[in-house]
Amino acid sequence: GIDFPFSIAFAALAGRWATRTDPFSSYLYAFKLRLALVAVHGALIYALPAGADAPALGGGVYSLVILLSLLSSLADAVMFVGMGAFFARIADDAYGGTYLTLLNTLSNFGSAWPKFVVLASVDWLSLGCRTTDAHGRVCELDGYFLVMMSSFII
């Protein structure tokens, strides 16, 4: 998508930042940015009218979504590079790349498996849903906001 060239540049910038400072501190700064982005994304989705047509939203909304996507990509790159630099710092030289591979594999596994549960819980937690002609699916209690708030708090 549009963020691919930016992702490459963000990874290079994150690599420079992680080598100049403590890599775990760069990870923590990016984590705080991602937490803030969760709140902003939730507020944006809440503010948008249900069933609105795409042209009716205007270019400002699309520009904001692209900006939020780029900021999320930046935070993701800084967190990934910071974690890799942290693993390289704590890894024992006697084991070399094997220990780094193990740490990175465990990290990837830990971030990948909950996605199914989190996305499925949006449907499980949505209550009073019905389909209308004008607005599509309308719920009295949308599970997205429950999952978003619980993810932000946890």
Question: The pTM is what?
Answer: 0.77
Contacts of 13 (CB under 8 A, 6+ apart): 77
Give the residue from 73, 90, 91, 83 showing the smallest Cα distance to 28: 83
Distance CA 36, CA 39 (A): 5
For residue 59, the model assigns a pLDDT of 82
Q: Is the pLDDT of residue 133 over 80?
A: no
What is the C-alpha to C-alpha distance for residues 44 and 64, in angstroms, rounded to an integer?
9
Other beta carbons within 10 angstroms of residue 26's beta carbon come to: 23
What is the percent of the chain where pLDDT is above 70?
A: 92
Query: Which amino acid, residue 108?
Result: N
pLDDT band at 68 (very low <50, low <70, confident <90, very high): very high
Return mean pLDDT, the chain.
83
